[in-house]
Amino acid sequence: MLIREIILVAVGLLSGAATAAGSFALITSLGVVPRMAGKSSTAVHVIAYENAIILGGIVGNILSIFAGLKILIGTGLLIVFGVTAGIFVGCLAAALAEVLQVWPVLFRRSGIKTGMNIGMVCFALGKMAGSFYFFSVLYRR
């Protein structure tokens, strides 16, 4: 019985490490952190950004494993967390789309010649509206 528990712990830790390595490799290969630091003129803080991403991954894993764990942060901090998490996920999705060159292919195939920036903003606003709808209406059920 003890051997089985040890094997389960080892498999769980190794699987988690492999998943985390893949996630952070994707973030690194997309260059999200250096690009955001360059655009915001805060390139000197890249190490702090990377540490915050790693800390966020660790805390997120702890909260997903221990689902009954309650963290009382208040509505204000919950709003700040939601906004910053949404910005990060949006930047990650936009960087992935940019690397895969989704936008130019989409606009070329649909015949749109101008308004690429407006189209991207509309996509982002639609994603935001869908997220608000999901979390405010559907998630509460």
pLDDT digits (tens, 9 = 90+) for 10-37: 888 888 778 777 777 777 777 777 877 8
pLDDT digits (tens, 9 = 90+) for 109-130: 888 777 777 877 887 788 888 8
Largest CA distance in the chain: 66
Q: Given this model, what pLDDT does residue 126 score?
A: 84
In angstroms, rounded to a whole number, what is the distance separating the alpha carbons of residues 75 and 83? 12
**What are the boundaries of each domain within the chain?**
2-71
Nearest residue to 95 (alpha-carbon basis) of 14, 23, 28: 28
In angstroms, rounded to a whole number, what is the distance separating the alpha carbons of residues 61 and 129? 27
Q: What is the pLDDT of the chain when averaged over all its residues?
A: 79
